[in-house]
């Protein structure tokens, strides 16, 4: 699919002006990767899909220690909305966000060559690695970071939102239209690959 065909799949709820801006930004990818974020963090919208929030509990089995860390929300916005009443208490899914510097340290520990490590970092920053979503420095994100799609966790919605209400600063970044479109594209590729090459009979 070329860039002109993508125009058919742009969100229909956007105004003509916003659609044209989004299409223009997609054409400029990846040169404009630092334009992912919304101009402002709107707390009145509550927590939205793909928001980056701080101080959320995370666990990575088999290690059972709970750490409070920065995360990117995977659940869609309507499922997060507390006004969306559900018969069964919903959960919010999210993934941890780590700094690019810490990832570089992990690469060095893995003893791969500096040349290969630099290639991996460049591929991450170009959004070419499907298991990660690159997050440039911006909004209230102080350092280049990555969201790790493979490390998905969830917790009860009410508990998650209770944590988020303690301090508005817990929500540190929201994606703009361009960033959100890139997020959905990366998430779809990570979880849904129709050409898996397996005949399931």
Whether residue 30 has a cis bond before it, omega within 30° of 0: yes
Residue 3, in any domain of the structure = no
Q: At what angle do helices 177-191 and 16-28 cross, to 10 degrees?
A: 60
Residue 195, in any domain of the structure = no
Distances (CA, A) of 53 to 68, 97, 102, 149: 11, 9, 19, 15
Residue 197, in any domain of the structure = no
CA torsion, points 81, 82, 88, 92, in degrees to nearest 10? 50
pTM: 0.81
* Host domain of residue 125: 16-38+58-190
Tally of domains in the chain:
1
Residue 96 has pLDDT above 90, yes or no: yes
Burial of 77: CB neighbours in 10 Å, binned 0-12, 13-18, 19+: middle
Residue 198, in any domain of the structure = no
Percent of the chain with pLDDT over 70: 74
Residue 133, in any domain of the structure = yes
Taking all residues of the chain, what is their mean pLDDT, rounded to a whole number?
Answer: 80
**What pLDDT, in 10s, does the model give residues 103-160?**
988 888 888 888 888 899 989 988 888 899 999 998 888 999 999 999 999 999 988 8
Residue 167: phi and psi, rounded to 5, are -155, 120
Residue 1 has pLDDT above 50, yes or no: no
> Which of 184, 181, 174 shows the shortest CA–CA distance to 38?
174
**What pLDDT, in 10s, does the model give residues 44-86?**
567 889 999 998 999 998 999 999 999 999 999 888 888 888 8
Please give the span between the terminal C-alpha atoms of the chain, in angstroms, as a whole number: 29
């Amino acid at each position: 699919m070329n860039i002109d065909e993508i125009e058919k799949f742009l969100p229909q709820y956007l105004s003509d002006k916003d659609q044209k801006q989004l299409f223009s930004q997609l054409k400029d990818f990846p040169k404009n990767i630092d334009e992912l974020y919304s101009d402002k963090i709107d707390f009145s919208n509550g927590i939205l899909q793909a928001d980056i929030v701080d101080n959320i509990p995370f666990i990575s089995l088999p290690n059972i220690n709970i750490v409070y860390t920065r995360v990117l929300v995977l659940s869609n916005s309507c499922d997060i909305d507390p006004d969306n009443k559900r018969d069964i208490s919903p959960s919010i899914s999210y993934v941890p966000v780590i700094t690019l510097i810490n990832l570089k340290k992990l690469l060095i520990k893995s003893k791969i060559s500096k040349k290969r490590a630099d290639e991996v970092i460049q591929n991450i920053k170009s959004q070419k690695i499907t298991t990660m979503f690159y997050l440039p420095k911006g909004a209230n994100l102080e350092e280049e970071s990555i969201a790790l799609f493979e490390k998905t966790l969830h917790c009860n919605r009410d508990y998650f939102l209770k944590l988020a209400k303690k301090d508005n600063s817990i929500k540190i970044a929201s994606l703009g239209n361009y960033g959100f479109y890139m997020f959905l594209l990366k998430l779809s590729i990570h979880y849904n690959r129709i050409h898996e090459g397996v005949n399931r009979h």
